[in-house]
Chains A and B, each alone.
Chain A
Protein backbone atom coordinates (compact mmCIF):
# COMPACT_ATOMS: atom_id res chain seq x y z
CA UNK A 1 0.00 0.00 0.00
CA UNK A 2 1.19 3.46 -0.81
CA UNK A 3 1.18 6.26 1.74
CA UNK A 4 -0.43 8.60 -0.77
CA UNK A 5 -3.72 6.75 -1.12
CA UNK A 6 -4.46 7.36 2.55
CA UNK A 7 -3.27 10.95 2.46
CA UNK A 8 -5.39 11.74 -0.60
CA UNK A 9 -8.48 10.18 0.98
CA UNK A 10 -7.84 12.28 4.06
CA UNK A 11 -7.38 15.44 1.99
CA UNK A 12 -10.67 14.80 0.19
CA UNK A 13 -12.51 14.28 3.47
CA UNK A 14 -10.93 17.45 4.85
CA UNK A 15 -12.11 19.47 1.85
CA UNK A 16 -15.63 18.07 2.16
CA UNK A 17 -15.63 19.02 5.83
CA UNK A 18 -14.50 22.56 4.98
CA UNK A 19 -17.35 22.81 2.48
CA UNK A 20 -19.77 21.70 5.19
CA UNK A 21 -18.49 24.30 7.68
CA UNK A 22 -18.72 27.11 5.13
CA UNK A 23 -21.97 26.24 3.35
CA UNK A 24 -24.32 24.90 6.01
CA UNK A 25 -26.32 27.20 8.28
CA UNK A 26 -27.51 24.71 10.86
CA UNK A 27 -25.21 24.88 13.92
CA UNK A 28 -25.36 21.14 14.61
CA UNK A 29 -24.39 20.38 11.01
CA UNK A 30 -21.43 22.74 11.24
CA UNK A 31 -20.23 20.87 14.35
CA UNK A 32 -20.63 17.58 12.47
CA UNK A 33 -18.53 18.92 9.62
CA UNK A 34 -15.84 19.88 12.13
CA UNK A 35 -15.86 16.26 13.30
CA UNK A 36 -15.31 15.23 9.69
CA UNK A 37 -12.26 17.52 9.52
CA UNK A 38 -10.82 16.13 12.77
CA UNK A 39 -11.37 12.63 11.45
CA UNK A 40 -9.42 13.42 8.29
CA UNK A 41 -6.56 14.64 10.49
CA UNK A 42 -6.69 11.38 12.43
CA UNK A 43 -6.36 9.33 9.25
CA UNK A 44 -3.31 11.43 8.36
CA UNK A 45 -1.71 10.87 11.78
CA UNK A 46 -2.27 7.12 11.75
CA UNK A 47 -1.02 6.68 8.19
CA UNK A 48 2.17 8.57 8.99
CA UNK A 49 2.57 6.38 12.07
CA UNK A 50 2.36 3.35 9.77
CA UNK A 51 4.74 4.98 7.30
CA UNK A 52 7.42 5.70 9.89
CA UNK A 53 6.74 2.48 11.82
CA UNK A 54 6.38 4.50 15.01
CA UNK A 55 3.70 4.64 17.66
CA UNK A 56 3.59 8.42 18.30
CA UNK A 57 1.12 9.17 15.53
CA UNK A 58 -1.40 6.71 16.95
CA UNK A 59 -1.08 8.21 20.43
CA UNK A 60 -1.72 11.66 19.01
CA UNK A 61 -4.74 10.34 17.12
CA UNK A 62 -6.10 9.17 20.48
CA UNK A 63 -5.49 12.64 21.93
CA UNK A 64 -7.31 14.20 18.98
CA UNK A 65 -10.29 11.91 19.61
CA UNK A 66 -10.38 13.03 23.27
CA UNK A 67 -10.19 16.72 22.32
CA UNK A 68 -12.95 16.19 19.73
CA UNK A 69 -15.19 14.70 22.41
CA UNK A 70 -14.61 17.72 24.67
CA UNK A 71 -15.22 20.10 21.76
CA UNK A 72 -18.52 18.47 20.82
CA UNK A 73 -19.73 18.64 24.43
CA UNK A 74 -19.06 22.35 24.79
CA UNK A 75 -20.21 23.14 21.24
CA UNK A 76 -23.55 21.41 21.64
CA UNK A 77 -24.07 23.10 25.02
CA UNK A 78 -23.54 26.46 23.31
CA UNK A 79 -25.97 25.59 20.52
CA UNK A 80 -28.58 24.50 23.07
CA UNK A 81 -28.15 27.81 24.88
CA UNK A 82 -28.52 29.65 21.58
CA UNK A 83 -31.69 27.70 20.80
CA UNK A 84 -33.13 28.43 24.22
CA UNK A 85 -32.52 32.15 23.88
CA UNK A 86 -33.40 32.73 20.24
CA UNK A 87 -35.42 29.67 19.11
CA UNK A 88 -33.10 29.50 16.14
CA UNK A 89 -29.77 27.87 15.36
CA UNK A 90 -29.17 29.53 12.03
CA UNK A 91 -25.55 30.62 12.26
CA UNK A 92 -25.94 33.35 9.63
CA UNK A 93 -28.40 35.22 11.85
CA UNK A 94 -26.07 35.40 14.83
CA UNK A 95 -24.52 38.72 13.94
CA UNK A 96 -24.95 40.69 17.15
CA UNK A 97 -21.26 41.58 17.26
CA UNK A 98 -21.02 42.41 13.57
CA UNK A 99 -19.44 45.84 13.10
Chain B
Protein backbone atom coordinates (compact mmCIF):
# COMPACT_ATOMS: atom_id res chain seq x y z
CA UNK B 1 0.00 0.00 0.00
CA UNK B 2 2.73 2.45 0.94
CA UNK B 3 4.65 2.05 -2.31
CA UNK B 4 1.47 2.30 -4.31
CA UNK B 5 0.36 5.31 -2.27
CA UNK B 6 3.64 7.08 -2.89
CA UNK B 7 3.35 6.30 -6.58
CA UNK B 8 -0.17 7.68 -6.60
CA UNK B 9 0.99 10.76 -4.71
CA UNK B 10 3.87 11.18 -7.13
CA UNK B 11 1.63 10.98 -10.10
CA UNK B 12 -2.02 9.94 -10.27
CA UNK B 13 -3.24 7.54 -12.92
CA UNK B 14 -3.44 10.20 -15.63
CA UNK B 15 -0.19 11.04 -17.42
CA UNK B 16 3.47 10.74 -16.47
CA UNK B 17 5.97 8.00 -15.79
CA UNK B 18 3.63 5.81 -13.79
CA UNK B 19 1.30 5.54 -16.75
CA UNK B 20 4.20 4.64 -19.05
CA UNK B 21 5.31 1.92 -16.64
CA UNK B 22 1.76 0.66 -16.37
CA UNK B 23 1.38 0.53 -20.13
CA UNK B 24 4.63 -1.39 -20.54
CA UNK B 25 3.53 -3.84 -17.86
CA UNK B 26 0.15 -4.20 -19.50
CA UNK B 27 1.68 -4.87 -22.92
CA UNK B 28 4.00 -7.54 -21.56
CA UNK B 29 1.26 -9.28 -19.59
CA UNK B 30 -1.20 -9.11 -22.48
CA UNK B 31 1.24 -10.64 -24.98
CA UNK B 32 2.15 -13.46 -22.59
CA UNK B 33 -1.51 -14.14 -21.81
CA UNK B 34 -2.61 -14.23 -25.44
CA UNK B 35 0.27 -16.49 -26.46
CA UNK B 36 -0.40 -18.90 -23.59
CA UNK B 37 -4.13 -18.95 -24.26
CA UNK B 38 -3.53 -19.76 -27.93
CA UNK B 39 -1.10 -22.54 -27.02
CA UNK B 40 -3.58 -23.84 -24.45
CA UNK B 41 -6.35 -24.42 -26.97
CA UNK B 42 -4.05 -25.77 -29.69
CA UNK B 43 -1.55 -28.01 -27.88
CA UNK B 44 -1.88 -31.79 -28.14
CA UNK B 45 -0.62 -32.53 -24.65
CA UNK B 46 -3.35 -32.07 -22.04
CA UNK B 47 -0.92 -31.56 -19.15
CA UNK B 48 0.82 -28.79 -21.11
CA UNK B 49 -2.58 -27.21 -21.65
CA UNK B 50 -3.14 -27.13 -17.88
CA UNK B 51 0.25 -25.48 -17.37
CA UNK B 52 -0.51 -22.88 -20.04
CA UNK B 53 -3.79 -22.26 -18.22
CA UNK B 54 -1.74 -21.48 -15.09
CA UNK B 55 0.17 -18.80 -17.04
CA UNK B 56 -3.06 -17.24 -18.31
CA UNK B 57 -4.60 -17.20 -14.82
CA UNK B 58 -1.45 -15.69 -13.28
CA UNK B 59 -1.47 -13.05 -16.02
CA UNK B 60 -5.03 -12.09 -15.24
CA UNK B 61 -4.15 -11.88 -11.53
CA UNK B 62 -1.43 -9.42 -12.57
CA UNK B 63 -4.00 -7.48 -14.61
CA UNK B 64 -6.24 -7.27 -11.54
CA UNK B 65 -3.37 -5.90 -9.46
CA UNK B 66 -2.63 -3.42 -12.26
CA UNK B 67 -6.25 -2.29 -12.13
CA UNK B 68 -5.96 -1.71 -8.39
CA UNK B 69 -8.11 -4.68 -7.34
CA UNK B 70 -5.74 -6.33 -4.90
CA UNK B 71 -8.24 -8.66 -3.21
CA UNK B 72 -9.54 -10.05 -6.50
CA UNK B 73 -5.96 -10.63 -7.63
CA UNK B 74 -5.06 -12.53 -4.48
CA UNK B 75 -8.28 -14.55 -4.63
CA UNK B 76 -7.53 -15.38 -8.24
CA UNK B 77 -4.16 -16.85 -7.27
CA UNK B 78 -5.58 -18.72 -4.27
CA UNK B 79 -8.72 -20.16 -5.83
CA UNK B 80 -7.78 -20.60 -9.49
CA UNK B 81 -4.09 -21.45 -9.44
CA UNK B 82 -4.18 -23.04 -6.00
CA UNK B 83 -7.36 -25.10 -6.23
CA UNK B 84 -8.96 -25.27 -9.66
CA UNK B 85 -5.77 -26.10 -11.58
CA UNK B 86 -4.96 -28.87 -9.09
CA UNK B 87 -8.48 -30.20 -9.66
CA UNK B 88 -7.84 -30.13 -13.41
CA UNK B 89 -4.55 -31.98 -13.03
CA UNK B 90 -6.34 -34.65 -10.98
CA UNK B 91 -8.99 -34.89 -13.68
CA UNK B 92 -6.34 -35.26 -16.38
CA UNK B 93 -4.48 -37.96 -14.49
CA UNK B 94 -7.62 -39.93 -13.66
CA UNK B 95 -8.72 -39.93 -17.31
CA UNK B 96 -5.23 -40.42 -18.72
CA UNK B 97 -5.02 -42.17 -22.03
CA UNK B 98 -8.73 -41.83 -22.64
CA UNK B 99 -8.04 -40.10 -25.92
CA UNK B 100 -4.40 -41.14 -26.27
CA UNK B 101 -2.24 -39.42 -28.84
CA UNK B 102 -5.06 -39.41 -31.35
CA UNK B 103 -6.50 -36.05 -30.33
CA UNK B 104 -6.79 -35.08 -33.95
CA UNK B 105 -9.56 -32.56 -34.47
CA UNK B 106 -11.48 -32.96 -37.64
CA UNK B 107 -10.32 -30.34 -40.11
CA UNK B 108 -13.82 -29.12 -40.80
CA UNK B 109 -14.64 -28.73 -37.14
CA UNK B 110 -11.46 -26.76 -36.55
CA UNK B 111 -12.16 -24.50 -39.50
CA UNK B 112 -15.71 -23.76 -38.40
CA UNK B 113 -14.56 -23.08 -34.82
CA UNK B 114 -11.90 -20.72 -36.13
CA UNK B 115 -14.53 -18.93 -38.17
CA UNK B 116 -16.95 -18.55 -35.25
CA UNK B 117 -14.26 -17.38 -32.82
CA UNK B 118 -12.78 -14.97 -35.37
CA UNK B 119 -16.17 -13.47 -36.18
CA UNK B 120 -16.94 -13.12 -32.47
CA UNK B 121 -13.63 -11.36 -31.86
CA UNK B 122 -14.10 -9.01 -34.81
CA UNK B 123 -17.67 -8.06 -33.89
CA UNK B 124 -16.83 -7.55 -30.20
CA UNK B 125 -13.68 -5.56 -30.94
CA UNK B 126 -15.54 -3.38 -33.45
CA UNK B 127 -18.30 -2.62 -30.96
CA UNK B 128 -15.77 -1.86 -28.19
CA UNK B 129 -13.67 0.45 -30.36
CA UNK B 130 -16.81 2.22 -31.49
CA UNK B 131 -18.14 2.70 -27.97
CA UNK B 132 -15.17 3.23 -25.66
CA UNK B 133 -12.57 4.68 -28.01
CA UNK B 134 -11.43 7.40 -25.60
CA UNK B 135 -12.64 6.24 -22.19
CA UNK B 136 -9.82 6.56 -19.66
CA UNK B 137 -9.53 4.78 -16.34
CA UNK B 138 -10.09 7.38 -13.66
CA UNK B 139 -9.62 5.42 -10.46
CA UNK B 140 -7.73 7.66 -8.06
CA UNK B 141 -6.53 5.01 -5.59
CA UNK B 142 -6.58 1.20 -5.48
CA UNK B 143 -9.51 -0.42 -3.70
CA UNK B 144 -8.55 -2.01 -0.42
CA UNK B 145 -9.61 -5.38 0.92
CA UNK B 146 -11.51 -3.62 3.71
CA UNK B 147 -13.84 -1.81 1.31
CA UNK B 148 -14.47 -5.02 -0.64
CA UNK B 149 -15.32 -6.83 2.61
CA UNK B 150 -17.62 -4.03 3.75
CA UNK B 151 -19.40 -4.14 0.42
CA UNK B 152 -19.84 -7.92 0.45
CA UNK B 153 -21.26 -7.99 3.95
CA UNK B 154 -23.61 -5.03 3.59
CA UNK B 155 -24.82 -4.37 0.06
CA UNK B 156 -24.22 -7.85 -1.38
CA UNK B 157 -25.06 -10.03 1.61
CA UNK B 158 -27.91 -11.90 -0.12
CA UNK B 159 -25.90 -12.90 -3.22
CA UNK B 160 -23.10 -13.89 -0.85
CA UNK B 161 -25.40 -16.25 1.07
CA UNK B 162 -26.76 -17.63 -2.19
CA UNK B 163 -23.19 -18.36 -3.34
CA UNK B 164 -22.53 -20.18 -0.07
CA UNK B 165 -25.56 -22.43 -0.59
CA UNK B 166 -24.55 -22.95 -4.23
CA UNK B 167 -21.06 -24.07 -3.21
CA UNK B 168 -22.54 -26.51 -0.67
CA UNK B 169 -24.92 -27.89 -3.30
CA UNK B 170 -22.11 -28.25 -5.84
CA UNK B 171 -19.95 -30.03 -3.26
CA UNK B 172 -22.66 -32.55 -2.41
CA UNK B 173 -23.59 -32.95 -6.07
CA UNK B 174 -19.99 -33.62 -7.12
CA UNK B 175 -19.59 -36.27 -4.41
CA UNK B 176 -22.89 -37.96 -5.31
CA UNK B 177 -22.08 -37.99 -9.04
CA UNK B 178 -18.49 -39.21 -8.71
CA UNK B 179 -18.73 -41.83 -5.98
CA UNK B 180 -18.32 -45.47 -6.91
CA UNK B 181 -21.52 -47.31 -5.88
A: residues with CB less than 8 A from B are: 1-9, 11-20, 22-29, 31-33, 35-36, 39, 42-43, 46-47, 49-51, 53, 55-56, 58-59, 61-63, 65-74, 76-81, 83, 87-90
Beyond A73-B174, A77-B173, A77-B175, 4 additional contacts (C-beta under 8 Å) are A3-B137, A4-B135, A16-B37, A62-B152
> CB of B166 within 8 A of chain A?
yes
**B159 CB contact (under 8 Å) in A14, A26, A63, A87:** A63
A12 to chain B minimum Cβ distance, whole angstroms, is: 6
Docked pose: A61 CA to B151 CA in angstroms: 13
Nearest CB in chain B: distance from A49 CB, A: 7
Q: How many A-B residue pairs lie within 8 Å, measured between CB atoms?
A: 251
With both beta carbons as reference points, the residue of chain A lying nearest to B173 in the complex is identified as A74
Which among B109, B117, B135 has the greatest number of chain A C-beta atoms within 10 A?
B117
| A28 and B91 in contact, given A4-B133, A20-B40, A58-B72 (Cβ under 8 angstroms) | yes
Q: Known contacts A3-B135, A4-B132, A53-B140: does B170 contact A14 (CB below 8 Å)? A: no
Q: Which residues of B contact A (CB under 8 A)?
A: 13, 19, 22-23, 26, 30, 33-34, 37-38, 40-41, 46, 49-50, 53, 56-57, 60, 63-64, 66-69, 71-72, 75-76, 79-80, 83-84, 87-88, 90-92, 94-95, 98-99, 103, 105, 109-110, 112-114, 116-118, 120-121, 124-125, 128-129, 132-140, 143, 147-148, 151-152, 155-156, 159-160, 163, 166-167, 169-171, 173-175, 177-178
Q: Tell me, rounded to whole Å, the shortest Cβ–Cβ distance linking A31 to chain B.
A: 7
Contact between B167 and A83, CB atoms less than 8 A apart: no
Which of B23, B30, B138, B177 has a CB less than 8 Å from the CB of A81?
B177
Which residue of chain A lies nearest to B178 when distances are taken between CB atoms in the complex? Answer: A77
In the complex the two chains form, is A70's CB within 8 Å of B166's CB?
yes
SS class, residues of chain B in contact with chain A? helix
The chain A residue sitting closest to B41, CB to CB, is A20
Residues of chain A within 8 A of B80, CB atoms compared: 35, 39, 65, 68
**Contact among B40, B90, B105 for A32, CB-based, below 8 A:** B40
| CA–CA, A66 and B83, complex, Å | 11
21 A-B pairs with CB atoms under 8 Å apart are A2-B136, A2-B137, A6-B63, A8-B129, A9-B63, A20-B41, A23-B110, A24-B41, A32-B40, A39-B57, A43-B60, A47-B67, A58-B71, A70-B167, A70-B170, A74-B170, A76-B91, A77-B175, A77-B178, A79-B95, A80-B91
